[in-house]
Amino acid sequence: MVDHFTYKVSATSGLARRGEISTPKGTIQTPAFMPVGTAATVKGMLPETVRETGADILLGNTYHLMLRPGAERVASLGGLHKFMNWDKPILTDSGGFQVMSLSKLRKITEEGVKFQSHIDGSSYNLTPERSMEIQALLGSDIQMAFDECTPFPATEKQAETSMELSMRWAKRSKDAFAKYSADGQAIFGIVQGGVYEHLRIRSAEALREIEFPGYAVGGLAVGEGQQAMFDTLDFTMPHLPNDKPRYLMGVGTPLDLVGAVERGVDMFDCVMPTRSGRHGQAFTFDGKVNLKNAQFKDDPAPLDEHSSCSAMRDYSKAYLHHLVRSGELLASMLVSWANIHFYQELMSAMRLAIEEDRFAEFAAEFRTRYQASK
């Protein structure tokens, strides 16, 4: 354990980086995938099960938690770690993305965002200062600067105006973080700028000017498509410092993760493994499996008979199909578990491939096998 936030790269393979983030709450092996614990729970999973899959860090959502149960309440109950029975690192987002996409009647000004809760319609005001205060109340180990997630599509002018606002908010976020945060916690800045190269570069440079212990790429996986996302990473990543972790927010599919690690990304979060799990869709190295499909009703084989994960090994596809068709809670539980396990196994395989400097071969083999069954 350390008493402050550090990051070091231990190996590279092409642009892919193998590293380690140290925090007082524990070490995060990178590239890392963070399961999403939206409302202080990774949906359908016990925290110890999430941990057993190999997850070093979870993501919590500021927007959801500020509305329910409320940041002050979580703080008075001992913080988010204690509240949700997870003693490893937690990253919280800033609330910016969800405010834009979930809340009603939002109004953006220089000061921040006024919005109405999607739960009960009550009014809230979220600013860079309040977002950082909330994240401090939650007690997360990595906190995100408050930004506006630029919608897609956006004209160059819209993307520029939005990015510039986010950069001013980034500075205010860092100042507020300095006021509210505890030792060992870190704040990441978020690069915006849509799919426009010169805006992304300006954004990255503005954030480096402010100086953050980590940098995220935001505003992607919002409809632009995988190639545009990869292109944006290609021209953005060279402008981020090599000695700081890089986090691609809200991404993605297994193929997205492999392509992004290949481009030097260190951290990811996505609801996909658990959301797909609740819909009976399992991820495997041989591609996606829609367990609802009638072809599995008599299939005695598990998702992976050699897996170290009970959900993948100990239940036949026929049983999982039955549970999905019957709308049983255990369907969501087992398939979410299997998917989080798969995502962690994929990250672990990528980390090993980087250590052994064979990431390009790994990526090529993974793509071929994953897509073969389609």
* Active-site annotation, residues: 93, 269
Residues 147-166 that bind its own copies (CB under 8 A): none
Closest to its own copies by CB, 8 or 297: 297
Q: Report whether 229 contacts 7 (CB < 8 A).
A: no
Residue 283's Cβ-count burial label (10 Å; 0-12, 13-18, 19+) is buried
**Count of residues touching its own copies (by CB under 8 A):** 37
Instruction: Report the site for its own copies in 53-72 (rule: CB under 8 A).
Output: 68-69
Among 35, 44, 194, 252, binds its own copies (CB under 8 A): 44
Q: Is 199 exposed, middle or buried (0-12, 13-18, 19+ CB in 10 A)?
A: buried
Give CA torsion, residues 342, 345, 346, 351, to 10 deg.
160
Residue 77 beta carbon to its own copies: minimum distance, rounded to whole angstroms? 5
The answer to whether the beta carbons of residues 184 and 4 sit under 8 Å apart is: yes
Region of 165 please: left (phi>0), alpha (psi -120 to 50) or beta: alpha
Applying CB under 8 A, the span of 176-184, 255-263, 292-300, 341-349 interacting with its own copies comes to 292-300
User: What are the b/e assignments for 94-115, b being 16+ CB within 10 Å?
Assistant: bbbbbbbebbeeeeeeeebbbb
SS (H, E, C) 159-193: HHHHHHHHHHHHHHHHHHHHHHCCCCCEEEEEECC
Q: Which of 85, 123, 155, 158 binds its own copies (CB under 8 A)?
A: 85
Q: Tokens representing 365? A: 């083999």
Among 156, 209, 243, 328, binds its own copies (CB under 8 A): 328
329 part of the interface to its own copies, by CB under 8 A? yes
**Rule CB under 8 A: is residue 87 a binding residue for its own copies?**
no
Query: Residue 178 interacts with its own copies (CB under 8 A)?
Result: no
User: Does 323 help bind its own copies (rule: CB under 8 A)?
Assistant: yes
Asked if residue 326 binds its own copies (CB under 8 A), the reply is yes
* Given 78, 121, 153, 238, the residue binding its own copies (CB under 8 A): 78
Q: Is 318 in the site for its own copies (CB under 8 A)?
A: yes
Q: Retrieve residue 188's tokens.
A: 């990441």
Tell me: does residue 281 bind its own copies (CB under 8 A). Answer: no
- Specify whether the CB–CB gap between 171 and 121 falls below 8 A: no
Nearest to 357 by CA among 13, 90, 8, 5: 13
Q: Is 330 in the site for its own copies (CB under 8 A)?
A: yes
305 touches its own copies (CB under 8 A): no
Residues in contact with its own copies by CB under 8 A are 39-41, 43-46, 48, 68-69, 73, 76-78, 83-85, 278, 297-298, 300, 310, 314-316, 318-319, 322-323, 325-326, 328-330, 332-334
